[in-house]
Homo-oligomer: A and B are copies of this chain.
Amino acid sequence: MAEYHIFVVSDGTGETATKMSKAALLQFKPANTTFVRHSNVRSVDMVREIVRAAEREPALVIHTFASRRLRQEMEQACQELNVASLDLIGPLIEKLAEFIETQPAETPGLLHQVDDDYFDRIDALAFTVRHDDNRSPEDLHEADIILVGVSRTSKTPLGIYLGQEGWKVANIPVVMGEELPRELFQVDQSRIVGLMTTPERLAEVRKARLSRLGSLDSTYADMKRVAAELEYCRKIFEQNADWLLVDVAGKSVEETAAEILDRLFGKERRL
């Protein structure tokens, strides 16, 4: 069976291009695909060496260069050695240049420049990790977003995802018979998000969880127990009408995060 090699080549980390290529590849589900990532490629010699390596495999070269010269060099080398290639960033940069009527800086790896914005994002992420699972409720008022929900409604991954985007997130689990921390009711209630799902979906997610853990404990994923927990949670949400309710059933973390941000802060947000 053929082995497909996809070379992702960049003068930065090549991270965005890898994500994009993985996303596109999901439309095909090929069995034997290997990604090879070449980061920090910043000379013509390096470009030529990579194309020679690609020529020895059934390989496709997907590249993103901030430098127009390396971009052109790559396209030319691939053409000469008859290697399939795609310039993933060139058309976008050229379109932006036209739209904004400015010439691009051609600085490699600008995405990950260490600047204030970058430090802010790291701080937000650290805040989120510190406030996972009702840790440190004493500075809950500093959170931009507070997620509330029963076990396995994606509170942790949602928080981390939003934390990486620069939002300070805390999450508070709802456990039957346990009081929510009093600090929760002393902060701006419009920043609180109640996560809801269906009993069917929650039982399914918990079953998957248990089977991966190799556990035989069945109460956790039991339909009756799951329904009772959600009912208990729903009552709490009803008593707190100011909270934003979000249904996570069947949605990915990214989809739920986008919905939360749209509804809390509007669709048109300055970056």
Contact = CB atoms under 8 A, between A and B. Distances in A.
Contact of A212 (B23, B33, B66, B120): B120
A253 interface: yes
A267 B37 contact: yes
B36 A268 contact: yes
Contacts of A118: 252
Interface in A170-197: none
A259 to B, nearest CB: 9
A134 interface: no
Nearest to A29: B105
A30 B125 contact: no
Tally of this chain's copies: 2
Contact of A88 (B37, B92, B254): B92
A270 interface: yes
Interface string A244-256: 0000001011110
B112 A254 contact: yes
Nearest to A204: B114
Contacts of A93: 24, 27
A160 interface: yes
Contacts of A46: none
Given A19-B16, A89-B24, A157 B114 contact: no
A40 to B, nearest CB: 8
A185 B112 CA distance: 34
Contacts of A34: 268-271
A215 interface: no
A141 B131 CA distance: 25
Interface of A: 4, 13-17, 19-30, 33-37, 39-40, 58, 60, 62, 66, 84, 86, 88-89, 91-93, 95-100, 102, 104-107, 109-114, 116, 118-120, 122-123, 125-126, 129, 132, 154, 156-157, 160-161, 163-164, 208-209, 212, 250, 252-255, 258, 267-271
